[in-house]
């Protein structure tokens, strides 16, 4: 069974490495590790990653996404069927077609269609969008700005930042756009701006776990250990299964000389990775 690298994911799915890692942190996919601890993705992993990103862009609740993806993983073949594969929307259900066979996963409204096939030995994932008719003066839907940001992260970070800013201007409750905006600013060394984005985002939408987690990472990098601790703890209060948050807390508690708490969170992190903590 062929395995794919993070670079392959970027090439095939047009998915930035940072986005891939954020989807892994969110627990939507658990890739294998290579001899150098690098991520190695199966065919199933690629389809789940692309579906997860689309569902997040459609603002489906995370618990519902996880339930849908678990069902998706159980039904996907281990390799590409000769007949190809299609994932599309029928009403408010995800429907997968493998040749003449069809099945559906309870996922909530899914806005994108994917045609998956093999061409010259390379996995091809083609996305089809039904674009609504609108006048030139009508602003683009927020999901279009968010998708544009995701697409541009690897090639045009400034364009991606502008797209995420437009997304939150269009819809201030769009948690993923706030998160990606702040993360990308942080990665580009614009930490003061990132801190302000996280502050504004949390004020707008409340205690979103991924937004809080990324804020905690920023606070750690800025040497604000107490603020990082508070951000991570609040994130876990919202989502106790956020594995990377447990790992970061374990490191932070160890650095603060509180090994009893470090051991607790490290144990939780390992159970979540093994699937025992869910």
Give 155-197 as a DSSP string. T-HHHHHHHHHHHHHH-TT-HHHHHHHHHHHHHTT-HHHHHHH
More confident residue, 139 or 149: 149
Q: Of 25-29, 88-92, 140-144, 211-215, give the lowest mean pLDDT range.
A: 88-92
3 token code pair: 């395995």
Between helices 142-152 and 175-187, what is the axis angle to 10°? Answer: 30
Whether residue 267 is predicted with pLDDT greater than 50 in this model: the reply is yes
User: What pLDDT score does 193 carry?
Assistant: 97
Could you give the C-alpha distances from 251 to 59, 174, 178, 192, 225, in angstroms and in order?
31, 30, 26, 24, 11
The Cα angle at residue 10 between residues 89 and 115, in degrees rounded to 5? 30
Q: Shortest CA distance to 160 belongs to which of 136, 141, 179, 173?
A: 179
Q: Of 10-24, 69-83, 100-114, 180-194, give the lowest mean pLDDT range.
A: 100-114
User: What pLDDT score does 58 carry?
Assistant: 63
How sure is the predictor about 271, in pLDDT bands with cuts at 50, 70 and 90?
Answer: confident
* CA separation for the pair 78, 88 (Å, rounded): 19
More confident residue, 48 or 132: 48
How sure is the predictor about 50, in pLDDT bands with cuts at 50, 70 and 90?
Answer: confident
More confident residue, 261 or 275: 261
Q: Mean pLDDT across the stretch 46-53?
A: 76
126 token code pair: 């083609």
* CA separation for the pair 18, 154 (Å, rounded): 9
Share of the chain above pLDDT 90, in %: 33
Q: Max CA-CA distance within the chain?
A: 60
The yes/no answer on whether domain 142-239 falls in CATH 3.40.50.300 is no
Domain ranges for the chain, please list them.
Answer: 6-128, 142-239
User: What pLDDT score does 214 carry?
Assistant: 92
């Amino acid at each position: 069974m062929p395995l794919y690298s993070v670079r392959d994911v970027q090439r095939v799915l047009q998915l930035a490495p940072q986005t891939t890692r954020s989807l892994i942190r969110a627990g939507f996919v658990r890739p294998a590790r290579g001899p150098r601890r690098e991520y190695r993705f199966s065919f199933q992993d690629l389809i789940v990653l692309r579906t997860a990103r689309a569902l997040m862009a459609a603002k489906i609740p995370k618990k519902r996404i996880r339930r849908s993806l678990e069902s998706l993983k159980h039904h996907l073949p281990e390799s590409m069927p000769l007949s190809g594969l299609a994932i599309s929307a029928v009403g408010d259900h995800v429907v997968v077609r493998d040749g003449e066979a069809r099945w559906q996963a309870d996922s909530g409204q899914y806005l994108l269609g994917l045609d998956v096939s093999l061409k010259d030995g390379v996995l091809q994932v083609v996305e089809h969008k039904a674009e609504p008719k609108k006048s030139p003066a009508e602003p683009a839907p927020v999901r279009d700005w968010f998708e544009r940001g995701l697409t541009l992260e690897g090639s045009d970070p400034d364009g991606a930042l502008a797209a995420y800013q437009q997304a939150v201007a269009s819809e201030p409750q769009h948690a993923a756009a706030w998160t990606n905006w702040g993360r990308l600013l942080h990665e580009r060394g614009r930490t003061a701006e990132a801190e302000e984005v996280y502050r504004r985002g949390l004020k707008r939408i409340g205690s979103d776990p991924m937004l809080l987690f990324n804020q905690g990472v920023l606070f750690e990098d800025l040497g604000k250990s107490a603020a990082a601790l508070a951000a991570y703890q609040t994130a876990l209060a919202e989502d106790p299964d956020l594995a990377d948050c447990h790992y970061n807390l374990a490191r932070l508690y160890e650095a603060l000389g509180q090994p009893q708490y470090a051991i607790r969170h490290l144990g939780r992190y390992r159970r979540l990775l093994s699937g025992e903590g869910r």
